[in-house]
Chains A and B, each alone.
Chain A
Amino acid sequence: DAKTTQPPSMDCAEGRAANLPCNHSTISGNEYVYWYRQIHSQGPQYIIHGLKNNETNEMASLIITEDRKSSTLILPHATLRDTAVYYCIAHEGAGSYQLTFGKGTKLSVIP
Chain B
Amino acid sequence: GAVVSQHPSRVICKSGTSVKIECRSLDFQATTMFWYRQFPKKSLMLMATSNEGSKATYEQGVEKDKFLINHASLTLSTLTVTSAHPEDSSFYICSAINRDRGSYGYTFGSGTRLTVV
* Chain B residues whose C-beta falls within 8 Å of the C-beta of A36 in the assembled complex: 108
Among residues 78 to 101 in chain B, which have CB atoms less than 8 Å away from a CB atom of chain A? 91, 93-95, 97-99, 101
Q: A41-B91, A49-B103, A95-B105 are in contact. Are A101 and B44 (CB under 8 A)?
A: yes
* Chain A residues whose C-beta falls within 8 Å of the C-beta of B109 in the assembled complex: 43
**Interface bits A87-99 vs B (CB < 8 Å: 1, else 0):** 1000001011111
**Interface bits B20-62 vs A (CB < 8 Å: 1, else 0):** 0000000000011010100000011110010000000000000
Q: For chain B, which range describes its interface: under 10, 10 to 19, 20 to 34, or 35 or more residues?
A: 20 to 34
Q: Which secondary structure dominates chain B's binding surface?
A: strand
The answer to whether B99 touches A41 (Cβ under 8 A) is: no
B102 at the interface (CB under 8 A from A): yes
A102 at the interface (CB under 8 A from B): yes
Nearest neighbor of B99 in chain A, beta-carbon distance: A95
B110 at the interface (CB under 8 A from A): yes
The answer to whether A101 touches B97 (Cβ under 8 A) is: no
Interface residues of chain A, those whose CB is within 8 Å of chain B, are 32, 34, 36, 38, 41-46, 49, 87, 93, 95-104
Shortest 7 CB-CB distances between A and B: which pairs? A93-B103, A43-B108, A95-B99, A101-B44, A101-B43, A44-B108, A43-B111
